[in-house]
Amino acid sequence: MFIFSHTKRRLFILTSSLMLLAFHPPNKDVDELWSDFLRHTEKTDVRAIAEYFDQLRSHQPALTDIDLCYAITLVSKWVEKGNAPPKEKVKIAILCGQLWPESDPEQPYMPAFFYEWACQISEENGLEDLASEAQADIINFYKHRYLIDKSLPFVIALEKSLDNPKTRSRLTKLHFKYHTLAQYYYRLNKYDLSIKYNKKALEAPDADYSVVDRLNIMNTIALSYNRLGNYQEAIRCYDEVIQTAIKIGNRDWEYIAKGNKGMVMLDLGKLEEAEQLLEEDFNGNLFSGQVGSALNACITLASLKLKNKDLVNAQKYLKIADSIEDTLGVSSKTILTWSEYYSLTGDWEKAYKYRSRAAEMLDSINRKTTTLEIFRAREQHSLLQQKALLDQKLLEQKNARKADKQYFLIAFSLLVLALAVFGMFFYLKQQKQKIVQRHLQERLAESKRELERYVRRVQHHNELSQGIEEHLSRVLPDKEQDKIKDLLLQFTFSTEDDWKQFKRLFDEVHHDFIRRLHEQESLSFTPGEIRMLVLLKLEFSNREIAQTLGISLEGVKKNKQRLRKKLQPTTDTELQSLLNH
């Protein structure tokens, strides 16, 4: 029964993994999440695996479908090699099949592989319930891909389990399994079996269908009765759907059921009732936005009007159908109805034109169907054909990784060299800055010593001048004393050259002090006041200031008084404190 045997299964999962790795390098985030999951999960069962996949789906940035396929492959390989109980293995295999992305173009049959794997493990270990669930999943998988013939072995096995009362009593999800068989037989046009299993699905003790799902199943039962020609049962089922839909306020199913019932009335020749139901279906679907259903109802109404020879209304509905098809695309059914209309009006040229156009469309559809069948057949055998390509891709990937490793080593060496050069440059720059700083500190210390020597020389000069002046005042007349005083003043600090030399030394020690005084525009210090402030900064006494500047003590006191008015201090002590800040 199994398409994938044990050996084939190993080959399939191996080649699938190789394809994923060859065309798409693995996402490191997936590897890290899987490693964290195995480290931190105490009990690795289907619930934990489901939570792991939920974590993958909520991962930011979002993982691609390829990344999800890779993650599922990791889980399946772990399950195959692990010691998990058979029941957990089956549940995880089914979960892998359900989660495999439908958009994966490279491995479209992977879900079938997982479902068949689950079936095989279940049958080997007597897990009847899980085996029937996996069978239902694989039937649905092949049904959606129109591979009905591949579902047959699993349909037979599932029917055998459901028809055996003893086995059925041990099964769960009976409504799901019955409904799967009903859909399978409806696709095969076995409408009697579809009705049987749909009714069993509704009557199953564990059936938990919503009202809308029940309406869907009842509508399918009615359609099956209609296909079998049992119109009375079909009408009864449609009426039940209509009444239930009206009761719960679901207009969509109300109009769908009315349209389907109208088609039955049309087959029965009850044209008036059919027209009324189809018009309700058309107007309701058009109002609710169900343009596909509205189009079908519109074309049917046009055909009904043509049967009644009502060409005006037939043309009206056909024009409405054309306007709807501007959005949905042209259908051959509409074109054939136009051809019938022009035949009744006698315009044989247009009737032939529309009939030819419909034939071309049907021929194109048949060609597409043939091409699709060929594509599916080739797709089923593509796995082994890609093996050589996979080997080549893997070799190229290995060589690329080797080249990348070499490039990485070269880049790393260049980076280390660049860091070494930068470090040497930074070290030399730091050493240069230290030398410059040490030189500046030595120069500042030398300037301080020179300034101190200059100040002491000035103070010594002032003391010598004062002694000479006092000695001469005792031995010389007043007239000669004035001449000597004028001569002594030439050796004071009042000359411009002395001031420049002193200012140079002072600026080197007390940075920007004189410049800041000049910037005080609101105070407008005079050159004499600046010299006075400089000497006060050096803590000269009034007598020393008078002797240095060559002015009297009284002049010093007046100058200090003017400075206090400008700078606001009330005493000499406050003035000195202000200058030291």
Which among 33-37, 113-117, 272-276 has the top mean pLDDT? 113-117
**What pLDDT does residue 504 have?**
66
pLDDT digits (tens, 9 = 90+) for 376-400: 555 555 544 555 665 676 677 778 8
Work out the pLDDT band at 350, boundaries 50, 70, 90: confident
Q: Buried b / exposed e across 260-287, counting CB within 10 Å, b at 16+?
A: bbbbbbbeeeeeeebbebbbbbbebbbe
pLDDT at 471: 47
Residue 571 has pLDDT above 50, yes or no: yes
- Residue 569 confidence class, pLDDT cut points 50, 70, 90: low
What is the rounded distance in angstroms from the CA atom of residue 317 to the CA atom of residue 336? 14
State whether residue 217 is helix, strand or coil. Answer: helix
Of residues 158 and 569, the one with the higher pLDDT is 158
Domain boundaries, the chain: 1-171, 391-579
pLDDT digits over 246-287, tens only?
A: 999 888 888 888 888 888 887 888 878 877 887 787 777 766
In the prediction, which pLDDT does 191 show?
Answer: 93
Query: How much is the average pLDDT of 114-129?
Result: 89
Question: Is the pLDDT assigned to residue 99 strictly greater than 90?
Answer: no
Per mean pLDDT, which of 58-67, 79-88, 188-197, 467-476 is the most reliable?
Answer: 188-197
Q: Do 90 and 76 form a contact (C-beta atoms < 8 A)?
A: no
State residue 222's pLDDT score: 93
> Which of 228-232, 263-267, 404-408 has maximum average pLDDT?
228-232
Please give the residue that has the higher pLDDT: either 314 or 234.
234
Confidence of residue 9 (pLDDT cuts 50, 70, 90): very low
DSSP assignment letter at 526 = -
Question: pLDDT higher for 517 or 89?
Answer: 89
What is the percent of the chain where pLDDT is above 70?
A: 70
Residue range 412-428, pLDDT digits in tens: 888 888 888 888 888 88
Q: Is the pLDDT of residue 227 over 80?
A: yes
Cβ-contact 179, 198 below 8 angstroms: yes
**Residue with structure tokens 């309700």?**
280
Residues 86, 92: Cα–Cα separation, whole Å:
10
- Asked if residue 257 lies in contact with residue 242, where contact means CB atoms within 8 angstroms, the answer is yes
Q: How confident is the model at residue 219 (pLDDT cuts 50, 70, 90)?
A: very high
In this prediction, residue 481 has a pLDDT band, given cuts at 50, 70 and 90, of very low
Question: Looking at beta carbons, which pairs linking 3-10 to residues 24 or more positions away fall under 8 Å?
Answer: 3/112, 3/116, 3/150, 4/112, 4/113, 4/116, 4/117, 6/120, 9/113, 9/116, 9/117, 9/120
Q: What is the mean pLDDT of the chain?
A: 76
Q: How many residues does the chain have?
A: 581
In the block, residue with structure tokens 């003043």: 489
pLDDT score recorded for residue 106? 59
pLDDT value at residue 401: 80
Question: Helix 174-187 crosses helix 211-228 at what angle (to 10 degrees)?
Answer: 30
Is 364's pLDDT higher than 70?
no
Cβ within 8 Å of residue 476, ≥6 positions away? 484
Q: What pLDDT score was predicted for residue 391?
A: 63
User: What is the structure's pLDDT at 383?
Assistant: 43
DSSP string across 471-516: HHHHHS-HHHHHHHHHHHHTTSTTSHHHHHHHHHHHHHHSTTHHHH
